[in-house]
Chain A
Amino acid sequence: MKKLVPFLAACLLLVLSSYVRPMAGYQVGDKAADFKLKNVDGKLVSLADNKTAKGYIVVFTCNTCPYAQAYESRIIALHQKYASQGYPVVAINPNDPALAPGDSFAAMQAQAKSKKYPFPYLLDETQQVAQSYGATRTPHLYVLTRQGTGNEFKVSYIGAIDDNSEDATRVKTKYVENAMTEILAGKPATTGSTKAIGCSIKWRKA
């Protein structure tokens, strides 16, 4: 009888987590799970790989979404600004290529090459990473901060890059840059999460 209680508790936890986790995704302050995904160069990439990174700017994006395209050069600029300060960009494409042929691995390779991506561009083939993060659209951005010297990462910012997707020259508020200024100073971001329109992630049909 004594053994049954932990067993039932474990069952309950499993049931609850399977319902709650994939839909809810992360909130600011949550621990972010590491992943191992295939980069456009064929090599596997994990958050743990880069021992010197203080964190990462993880962005779910893709080839085909007009909003992702509108933000592409701004994502490259984020990497150029923050990689040297310890926060490189990691781009992840979560779209099912069966539903979005322009998001195939070969198309990702071509895109990364033609735009000279200075960061990894990873394929989330099972879509599990996007699900566990709670990404719903492209682009959808997460700033992660390394805890101590280990391989544990905490979510510091979730949301939009800035307040004008259409025109970078008309941006008034740079949400990610504002958050990064505070995060780099060791403070929590005043605006920890923001909303933005984007293309729904093309989830594999069950």
Chain B
Amino acid sequence: MKLFPLAAALLFALPSQAQQVALIKLPELQKRLSRKTDTTYVINFWATWCAPCVKELPYFEQVNTTYAKQKVKVLLISMDYASQLDKKVKPFVLKRGLKSEVVLLNEADPNTWMDKVDGKWSGALPFTLMINNSKQKRVAYEKEFTQPELTAALQKFLQ
């Protein structure tokens, strides 16, 4: 009988944990992108309304498992409107069971911040950055990945 509260706690705790999607502003994002660490960050800009983004999300999720023993971290940055956080983004993250950290970049005018993220970004989604600050390596892809393409790109980056 003592199991019940525990089970109930787990039942309620799991979804709420998976639903945590922080709203961040540009300075916070910049801080994270410039962290002095030898962890390789794979940062994918996506949106729930972007069909090619949604299609490639599982490949990014797969990176967590494939590189579980290496210093690789996936960060999914939602470009959905902040007003859609509770209505669309959190339910989406929950439904898909996304394991990667998800944040929503809460900035209205891309013209004021996009160049500060990457000058090569024209504004099309999906957009992906691979960054390793201690190796001073950084690549940007404004394209939709297939799984083999993502694996190849990351392999090359980690070499």
Interface residues of A (CB under 8 A from B): 65-66, 100, 136-137, 140, 159-160, 163-164, 166, 170, 172-173, 175, 194-202
Asked if A163 meets B124 with Cβ closer than 8 Å, knowing A136-B142, A200-B144, the reply is no
Closest residue of B by beta carbon distance from A202: B52
Task: Please measure, in the bound complex, the distance between the C-alpha atom of A114 and the C-alpha atom of B124, giving whole angstroms.
Answer: 27
Question: Does B125 reach chain A (CB closer than 8 Å)?
Answer: yes
Contact A195 B125 (CB under 8 A): no
Task: Please measure, in the bound complex, the distance between the C-alpha atom of A102 and the C-alpha atom of B15, giving whole angstroms.
Answer: 34
Contact A196 B50 (CB under 8 A): no
Residue among A65, A140, A166, A202 making CB contact with B81, cutoff 8 Å: A166
Count, chain B residues at interface, CB 8 A: 24
Asked if A198 meets B124 with Cβ closer than 8 Å, knowing A66-B49, A166-B81, the reply is yes
Using an 8 Å CB-CB cutoff, how does the interface string of B90-123 with A read, 1 for contact, 0 for none? 0000000000000000001111101100000111
Closest residue of A by beta carbon distance from B82: A166
Contact B49 A136 (CB under 8 A): no
* A/B interface sample: 24 pairs, CB < 8 A: A100-B51, A136-B124, A137-B122, A159-B111, A160-B123, A163-B108, A163-B109, A163-B112, A164-B108, A164-B109, A166-B83, A195-B123, A196-B111, A197-B47, A197-B79, A197-B125, A198-B124, A199-B50, A199-B51, A200-B52, A200-B124, A200-B126, A200-B142, A200-B144
Majority secondary structure of chain B interface residues (helix, strand, loop or mixed): loop
Asked if A160 meets B108 with Cβ closer than 8 Å, knowing A166-B81, A200-B125, the reply is no
Q: Which residues of A contact B109 (CB under 8 A)?
A: 163-164, 172-173
Contact A199 B111 (CB under 8 A): no
**Most A CB within 10 A of own CB, among B83, B108, B111:** B111
Interface residues of B (CB under 8 A from A): 47, 49-52, 79, 81, 83, 108-112, 114-115, 121-126, 142-144
Residue among B108, B124, B144 making CB contact with A137, cutoff 8 Å: B124
Task: Please measure, in the bound complex, the distance between the C-alpha atom of A74 and the C-alpha atom of B25, giving whole angstroms.
Answer: 27
For the complex formed, measure the closest distance between the CB of A85 and the CB atoms of chain B, giving whole angstroms.
24
Task: Please measure, in the bound complex, the distance between the C-alpha atom of A198 and the C-alpha atom of B47, giving whole angstroms.
Answer: 10
Q: Which residues of B contact A164 (CB under 8 A)?
A: 108-109
Asked if A197 meets B123 with Cβ closer than 8 Å, knowing A136-B142, A166-B81, the reply is yes
Task: Please measure, in the bound complex, the distance between the C-alpha atom of A1 and the C-alpha atom of B101, giving whole angstroms.
Answer: 63
For the complex formed, measure the closest distance between the CB of A202 and the CB atoms of chain B, giving whole angstroms.
8
- Cβ-closest 6 pairs across A and B: A163-B109, A137-B124, A136-B124, A200-B124, A195-B114, A136-B122
Task: Please measure, in the bound complex, the distance between the C-alpha atom of A202 and the C-alpha atom of B143, giving whole angstroms.
Answer: 10
Closest residue of A by beta carbon distance from B84: A166
Closest residue of A by beta carbon distance from B113: A195
Q: Which residues of A contact B123 (CB under 8 A)?
A: 136-137, 140, 160, 195-198
Task: Please measure, in the bound complex, the distance between the C-alpha atom of A200 and the C-alpha atom of B127, giving whole angstroms.
Answer: 10
Q: Which residues of B contact A137 (CB under 8 A)?
A: 122-125
